[in-house]
Structure 1
Amino acid sequence: MPVSEDSPLRDAKKFLPALQPLNDFPGSLSQKVYMSLKQAILSLAFRPGELMQKSQICKELGVSRSPVTEAMARLASEGLADIVPQAGTYVTRFSMAEIREGAFLREALELAAVERVATTITEEQLVLLKRNLRIQEVLMQDGDTAGFHQMDAELHELILSFTGYRRLASLAETAWIHVNRARHLNLPMPGRMQATLAEHKAIVAALEARDPEAARQATRHHLRQLILLLEPLVAERPEMFTNG
């Protein structure tokens, strides 16, 4: 189904190419193709339910069919693509059940993280968080949803890293993968970037005050906005969601 002129998806693509060049990614050729396709899915450059045309992907990336086939199989194993025999490979539609589960897991991890970080945060770490907020503000003013989303993710990653637990960020990313994709539907909504920035500032202010309970409350409020904002889209954009 074509994207309407007023769709959040159209604005979300404003700063995004369909596929990022392979040179943007490290690793083997197969890994690069996988990362390029995954980024296109997570950023909604490839829309939920869209057919991933192998011949077009090969042409755009300048590769043979083999690494594309491998990448698609890997994406399918992660739940980001559906391989339909004799029909092709489609981008997985959103599942509110998976999004709710991912949001629940991410909230549990992040609330524990900010509570810990509020008692251990250093001035140098606060500088990094405040620098990130300043960049978010510039990106918001420019209307750069893709750039804003990247800095949003970086802020959360910084806080998780400040716990000192090395595996925490990767665990959170795994739990958050379907939620992260769905978040691209929200940021282009009028006023959402401004609200998100305000929520981020509240989290950082609580950390600067070394107040664990305030940090938990600010983080909980921020994370729960996603589900509240997505619920109406299930009815408005049913072609992007499964019934499950």
Structure 2
Amino acid sequence: MTEHQDPPPAAEVQLPPRRPLRPLDQFQGTLAQRVHASLREAILSMSLRPGDIVRKPEICETLGVSRSPVSEAVARLAVEHLVRIVPQAGTYVARFSLDEVREGAFLREALELAAVERVASTVTDEQLVLLRRNLRLQEALVEDLDIAGFYQTDAAMHELILSLTGFRRVASLADSAWVHVNRARQLLLPAKGRVQATLDEHRAIIAAIEARDPAAAREATRSHLGKLVGFLEPLALTHPDLFEPD
């Protein structure tokens, strides 16, 4: 492991900046589905942080909706384990659970290793153009120090690889498995050297797909995904306020 891939010291871990809830006209679906999408995005991006109180009247005012779609959205978030509803106490953004992170990483790795191996065997020249274009955008975002933009393009690369398998449900299954890891990894990307290390890992994955080498693509993806849990586990000790006790 290179120096910049070592787990970041606690002092270097910074929470991403808070951002307002995105307006509902930027989402699709029913009113409750759009409220859910806006709140879910805020939780996954750490704009709403582990332990934060979910204040429904404020959400209603911010999004310009009544209490009913907000309550429906919060109930759905509770099923996803992204919020905790405590009777007589309130609703809180769920803290990270290492058990859920480990399980999600295990499931996502199983899906994505199979996917990248298949893609490396079947990729077309047109599909390679899409992968290279995504990688160039990642490089530009790193150069511009746009962490949030890099995070979104990173996710888009993984979704693209999954979609290139030709199987319609793989991407949604992987997203569901990955949701808790995805949220927790927001603690890592602002850390010194982690964004560049992630970009280097992505380059290795795309290079192996370009070479149409399934074994190399699988190994590069395994190395990339396997680092995350190892980086996150020490943070449960250094940032206990963000994690549920084991």
TM-score, normalised with respect to structure 2: 0.93
Distance, in Å, in 1 between the alignment partners of 2:93 and 2:145 is 27
In the TM superposition, residue 65 of structure 1 has moved relative to its aligned partner by 1.4
Aligned counterpart, 1:98:
100
Counterpart in the other structure of 2:240: 238
Describe how 1:1-244 pairs up with structure 2 within 5 A: 7-9=13-15, 12-13=16-17, 17-244=19-246
SS at match of 2:95: coil
Q: CA deviation at 1:126?
A: 0.7
Report the residue type matching 2:58 in the other structure: Q
List structure 1 segments (4+ residues) > 3 angstroms apart after TM superposition: none
How far apart in 2 are the matches of 1:146 and 1:191? 15
Identity over the aligned pairs, expressed in percent?
Answer: 63
Task: Give the secondary structure class of the aligned counterpart of 1:8.
Answer: coil
AA aligned to 1:35 is: A
In 1, are the aligned partners of 2:43 and 2:82 still within 8 Å (CA)? yes
Q: Quick check: 1:18–1:46 contact (8 Å CA) kept in 2? A: no
How many Å separate the matches in 2 of 1:22 and 1:145? 24
Secondary structure of the structure 1 residue equivalent to 2:233? helix
Find the aligned partners of 1:29 and 1:104 in 2 and give their Cα distance. 34
- The whole-number CA distance in structure 2 between the counterparts of 1:75 and 1:19 is 15
Deviation at 1:7, TM superposition (A): 4.9
Structure with the bigger RCO (C-alpha within 8 Å, sep 6+) is 2
Superposition RMSD in Å = 1.5
Residue 235 of structure 1 deviates from its aligned partner by 1.0
How many residues align? The count is 237
Counterpart of 2:14, as a letter, is P
- Residue aligning to 2:6: none
CA deviation vs aligned residue, 1:135-192 (integer Å, no higher than 9, x gap): 1111112222111111101101111111111110011011111111111111111111
Unaligned stretches of 5+ residues in structure 2: 1-10
